[in-house]
Structure 1
């Protein structure tokens, strides 16, 4: 008989009520029932209290209200209370499918790995967040592009607690992205076995490209600060220079033919520069 892992579902959340409720509803429909839910609530209010109280008859759910901001820090905090052999960290605007947890458990039983990634799809079944590889594979330092997003990660608890997320990265910090990338690079350097299985799917809405909205411009600045911080930390200078030169070349085109996007890509370039300069 294959192992039935206890899965700790750790959810950092802020400023999302309907999406959070939809995530819990999707977990309730899971065909795999050996799990616990740990909510790290960064709202600073009672926004989610009624939802969580209403779910306690259906779930093993722990609710921790915290006075800090930051997705990486919240994930690490939630892991402190996890009893599961496996941890996962869905975004608070994501949803799981009925077979997501079963596929994750079966994958660990059938594949020699300590960390497992799947893919994000939208409601139509198309890849979301990024264009994922179509074939399953082990990640390596040379081959890992398009095979990981932290929202799809399942990781053995003892392994995660050795490495954790670097809390200087991610949403809620100056370096607003790449906490997952940093984690897998550190793990791969230490020869931790990481596997990508595209059969493992989690719903995540598409990231809409709005090049003139102030929030989108602020977001891309923060994300590129994270990319630059990652590249400087891990000496990925070629990646950093390649992205910078592509933006510069594209900006030259936009200035002549599509000025509506100039602020967005200029913000991206400035984010890279800020991520290098601010240490």
Structure 2
């Protein structure tokens, strides 16, 4: 495949040492260039790496940043990671090795927490190890956090974006849908009959650590985006996605009931309990509203309307 991979990174945070993200892969013979798309305070970053194309945006939303970055890609493969991740030395090699298989469209890898020994008592989100932890191929819709992974560790053939479109602007950080832009894209690709590989040797380290309260807040955001992404396809008739939405809903109400039971076991006024209960209900409902709005009310762009395309076949 030659030097046929473009690494795409998006950020809206200041003070990020971007060079640490790609330090171990920047000299890889398969790497053509790095596209860095920044927003907000990250626009002040001064790039000194010749392989980096730095694009500064005035708008918000990670999906908007990814889609703008894709316009700069002229290679066969697009690598995705986050601004708080570090790529292992053979990350590109492992991805290219898998995607020489013409029947595969995407490959996701194994994501570890970075230096957990220095972050006792905290939680690193969006890590991923598939069970069983061996090379596998997915072509059926399931739960992306169990079957596929996250796009802090993904390489996708550019033709997939050309066939089914980019990320949805209404999902992801900085959007009305809050999160799960990668989940929606995975679902769209699977519905369009693309096959996705998992390579456990394709390793990324995630350097994001949350306190218990921060994790609780993040989980509510993940709930909103997940319901929005899976609900979007569930409302278009994809039963597997609707099953996941029902699971989200069941888990939310079960957690609320568990918290209420704890309250009655040891009665005491808890403002946090009230806040958490309303927050969970709010994000669940908001995710459903987002799904309904974009699946039923607002027309879906033709290229991205994979459910209708498959129905015609």
- TM-based fold match above 0.5: yes
Unmatched tracts of structure 2, length 5 or more: 118-123, 235-241, 294-313
State the distance in 1 between where 2:247 and 2:277 align. Answer: 17
Q: Corresponding residue for 2:85? A: 94
Unmatched tracts of structure 1, length 5 or more: none
Structure 1 contact 42–69 (Cα < 8 Å) conserved: yes
Going from structure 1 to structure 2, the CA distance change for 1:270 and 1:46 (only over 3 Å counts) comes to closer
| TM-score between the two structures when normalised by the length of structure 1 | 0.84
Structure 2 contact 12–43 (Cα < 8 Å) conserved: no
Determine whether 1:112 maps to 2:103.
yes
**1:102-128 deviations in Å (ceiling 9; x for gaps):** 111111125731111112112358986
State the distance in 1 between where 2:231 and 2:204 align. Answer: 31
Which 10-residue stretch deviates more, 160-169 or 39-48? 39-48
Determine whether 1:230 maps to 2:229.
yes
- Structure 1 residue 160: deviation in Å? 1.8
**Residues 105-184 of structure 1 mapped to structure 2, 5 A cutoff:** 105-110=96-101, 112-124=103-115, 129-133=126-130, 134-139=133-138, 140-142=140-142, 144-146=144-146, 147-163=148-164, 164-184=166-186
State the distance in 2 between where 1:62 and 1:166 align. Answer: 23
Matched positions, count:
267
SS in structure 1 at match of 2:212: coil
Going from structure 1 to structure 2, the CA distance change for 1:72 and 1:254 (only over 3 Å counts) comes to farther
Which 10-residue stretch deviates more, 216-225 or 199-208? 216-225
Q: RMSD in angstroms over aligned alpha carbons? A: 2.8
**Residues 240-259 of structure 1 mapped to structure 2, 5 A cutoff:** 240-255=248-263, 256=265
**Residues 256-267 of structure 1 mapped to structure 2, 5 A cutoff:** 256=265, 262=273, 263-264=275-276, 266-267=278-279
- Structure 1 residue 219: deviation in Å? 4.0
Going from structure 1 to structure 2, the CA distance change for 1:131 and 1:64 (only over 3 Å counts) comes to closer
